[in-house]
């Protein structure tokens, strides 16, 4: 599929980028080498009349991507989460992409539901509205369950969207190959990796079972969080191309006038949004990665409701600890410790100077902490931090980029609710609490207990391993490598088992 027939799609894409003025913006953002610029303009300028005009009211990049269709819009959204690839300015521009596409008819949506679920829409739902939101991949209808009278939201994929995306993604891969062929210097931009990442994101969003699973896991993780709700998934009415969940009825979090009219405390809501995000990221390692005002509502009682779980972030426990220590170090202005954490985690090459790195971090932190408290930005600090770590040879870590991007969005939401919020004061207790639970002595014991559970599965094999190691020692012609590693393995298992047993005992004593 990734053959020369994609040239026509690339010509149409280049023509649209030229016609909308986006070509230069994109090439500058990627710091494209001269050879790539020549090829790009050669594909665009002679055929500019074939390009889509787009909406002149939009910025060039968003204008072009919106005109080119759903796959390009989604590509822009994914790139907005990768400022390390496209640069901060273009990432900011792409974040305002609006999925305001023409909806497909209600009758078509009902037919899609019946085909996917094998049930009659009119029998299952006593009411089924016209589309209330149409995005690049799917659209949403409000409905009422005939059996219970419960209001629900029904998300339906666009007909033929899978084929359309496969066709466009195929052209993206072809373009990436051309970039690598004609502009070897651009390989540092990792064009194939970027498209592969996008391909993976889209494949996930084209299967609503995965989004349903994300929503269900997120709901389970946050069930005990006060002031926060996640609509329940209706599994019996959800499948690959259809997702049904409880209706999120409330005031849009971005409508300050309506929030004030309802008597809601916007300052409290601003703090709650930030603390909830940090709790989800640090405590659970699973967070809503598209937590803007459009995906959040507020009930009359002040509870925040989240929805649209197509983009979720995940960070493992080790990375969470590193991230928390970095944040905590900056909160305490302990730049030496922040530097040491980067080296301990292997984020910065060991041959770099830790003291020099600490001084560079101080240059990042002190100007920010010298500002008025209401102007201190976590997003700005993290952005500066990544610039410094890049200079010191830190490799890009996708999970941290997504975390940074989400934190910037959440910070913007909090400040829109309360411009005078002190981001660091709100974050401090959440980070401190996580530090106490995950890095202190009790955390070490918990880690050893987890090791004990793993060792328990290998327990029956320990005698055999030790016996094999001892036999190897008395074998007439032992191989040095087998003897050495057999002994080490047996001793290692025995040591782990002993340590795990001690940890279990200590935990029982402390409890």
Q: Are 297 and 252 in contact (CB under 8 A)?
A: yes
Q: Residue 36 is inside which H or E element, if any?
A: helix 34-44
- CA–CA gap between residue 155 and residue 417 (Å, rounded): 29
Q: Residue 35, SS3? A: helix
Whose tokens are 């025995």? That residue is 494
Q: Are 230 and 218 in contact (CB under 8 A)?
A: yes
Burial class of residue 438 (count of CB atoms within 10 Å of its CB; 0-12, 13-18, 19+):
buried
- CA–CA gap between residue 44 and residue 57 (Å, rounded): 22
Whose tokens are 């402390």? That residue is 510
* Tokens read off for 181: 């062929």
Q: Pairing mode, if any, of strands 228-229 and 286-288?
A: unpaired
- CA–CA gap between residue 74 and residue 322 (Å, rounded): 31
CA–CA distance from 382 to each of 73, 80, 389 (Å)? 27, 16, 10
Task: Residue 154: name the closest of 249, 291, 229, 246 by CA.
Answer: 246
Q: Are 315 and 399 in contact (CB under 8 A)?
A: yes
Q: Are 298 and 259 in contact (CB under 8 A)?
A: yes
For 413, residues 6+ apart whose C-beta sits below 8 A from its C-beta are: 253, 254, 270, 273, 291, 292, 293, 296
Helices and strands in the chain, H and E counts: 23, 10
DSSP label at 3? Answer: S
CA angle at 405 for the pair 140 and 258, rounded to the nearest 5°: 50
> What's the half-sphere exposure (Cβ side, CA atoms, 13 Å) at 398?
11
CA–CA distance from 258 to each of 133, 212, 272, 293 (Å)? 21, 30, 18, 14
Q: Are 185 and 35 in contact (CB under 8 A)?
A: yes
Q: Are 97 and 66 in contact (CB under 8 A)?
A: yes
Q: Are 354 and 368 in contact (CB under 8 A)?
A: no
For 102, residues 6+ apart whose C-beta sits below 8 A from its C-beta are: 134
- CA–CA gap between residue 404 and residue 398 (Å, rounded): 10
CA–CA distance from 187 to each of 30, 88, 192, 199, 346 (Å)? 11, 20, 9, 19, 24
Catalytic residue (choose from 168, 170, 225, 290):
290
55 catalytic, yes or no?
no
Active site positions, annotated: 290
């Amino acid at each position: 599929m990734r053959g020369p027939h994609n040239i026509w799609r690339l010509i149409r894409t280049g023509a649209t980028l030229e016609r909308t003025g986006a070509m230069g913006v994109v090439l500058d953002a990627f710091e494209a080498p001269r050879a790539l610029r020549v090829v790009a303009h050669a594909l665009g300028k002679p055929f500019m009349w074939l390009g889509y005009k787009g909406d002149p009211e939009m910025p060039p990049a968003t204008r072009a991507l919106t005109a080119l269709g759903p796959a390009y819009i989604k590509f822009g959204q994914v790139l907005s989460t990768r400022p390390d690839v496209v640069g901060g300015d273009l990432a900011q521009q792409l974040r305002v992409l609006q999925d305001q596409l023409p909806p497909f008819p209600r009758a078509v949506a009902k037919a899609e539901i019946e085909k996917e679920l094998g049930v009659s829409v009119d029998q299952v739902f006593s009411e089924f509205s016209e589309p209330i939101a149409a995005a690049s991949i799917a659209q949403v209808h409000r409905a009422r369950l005939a059996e219970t009278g419960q209001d629900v939201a029904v998300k339906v994929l666009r007909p033929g969207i899978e084929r359309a995306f496969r066709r466009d993604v195929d052209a993206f891969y072809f373009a990436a190959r051309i970039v690598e062929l004609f502009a070897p210097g651009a390989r540092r931009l990792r064009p194939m990796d970027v498209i592969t990442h996008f391909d993976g994101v889209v494949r996930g969003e084209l299967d609503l079972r995965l989004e349903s699973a994300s929503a269900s896991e997120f709901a389970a993780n946050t069930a005990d969080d006060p002031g926060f709700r996640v609509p329940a998934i209706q599994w019996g009415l959800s499948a690959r191309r259809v997702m049904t969940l409880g209706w999120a009825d409330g005031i849009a979090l971005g409508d300050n006038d309506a929030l004030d009219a309802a008597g809601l405390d916007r300052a409290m809501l601003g703090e709650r949004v930030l603390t909830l995000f940090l709790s989800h990221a640090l405590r659970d390692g699973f967070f809503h990665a598209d937590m803007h005002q459009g995906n959040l509502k507020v009930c009359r009682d002040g509870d925040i409701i989240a929805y649209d779980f197509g983009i979720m972030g995940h960070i493992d426990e080790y990375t969470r600890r590193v991230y928390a220590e970095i944040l905590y170090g900056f909160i305490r202005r302990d730049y030496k410790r922040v530097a040491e954490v980067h080296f301990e985690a292997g984020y910065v090459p060991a041959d770099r100077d830790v003291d020099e790195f600490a001084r560079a971090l101080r240059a990042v932190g002190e100007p920010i902490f010298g500002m008025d408290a209401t102007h201190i930005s976590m997003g700005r600090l993290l952005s500066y931090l990544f610039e410094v770590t890049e200079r010191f040879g830190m490799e890009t870590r996708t999970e941290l980029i997504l975390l940074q991007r989400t934190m910037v969005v959440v910070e913007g939401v909090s400040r829109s609710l309360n411009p005078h919020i002190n981001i660091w004061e709100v974050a401090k207790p959440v980070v401190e609490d996580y530090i106490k639970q995950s890095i202190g002595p009790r955390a070490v014991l918990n880690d050893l207990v987890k090791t004990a559970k793993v060792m328990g599965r290998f327990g029956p094999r320990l005698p055999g391993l030790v016996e094999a190691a001892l036999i190897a020692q008395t074998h007439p012609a032992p191989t040095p490598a087998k003897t050495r590693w057999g002994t080490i393995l047996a001793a290692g298992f025995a040591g782990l088992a002993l340590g795990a047993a001690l940890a279990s005992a200590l935990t029982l004593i402390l409890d």
